[in-house]
Amino acid sequence: AQSVTQPDIHITVSEGASLELRCNYSYGATPYLFWYVQSPGQGLQLLLKYFSGDTLVQGIKGFEAEFKRSQSSFNLRKPSVHWSDAAEYFCAVGPYRNAGKSTFGDGTTLTVKP
């Protein structure tokens, strides 16, 4: 069965500091990996996705993620965090033939200090 673990429930960083959110997955085949962001009371917005090719993928809002097959990880990074990045971040894994049917982690809440 597929699963996603986001080890950090809550992370606090200062504005302008770098950010890394961790994601580990378990999946029997080649995974389709995603990062989504959710603001309070809102739906999910896709930040970036990875299926194949370059293991470093660029997304919206200055985010990037690196796929490491040997570590079953897909960590999200941003070099300089803005106050507007405060939100909840979800990592997800899905089957290639049906990426919309994804398994999500329980999320990491990001707080940004001024």
Output the six-digit token pair for 73: 């990880």
Which amino acid is located at 3 in the chain? S
Work out which of 57, 90, 93, 112 binds another protein, going by CB under 8 A.
90
From 34, 63, 67, 74, residue interacting with another protein (rule: CB under 8 A): 34
Binds another protein by CB under 8 A, chosen from 13, 25, 107, 112: 107
d(CA 40, CA 57): 26
The size of the chain, in residues, is: 114
Q: Which stretch binds another protein (CB under 8 A): 15-23, 30-38, 60-68, 76-84?
A: 30-38
User: Do residues 61 and 85 make contact, with C-beta atoms less than 8 angstroms apart?
Assistant: yes
100 binds another protein (CB under 8 A): yes
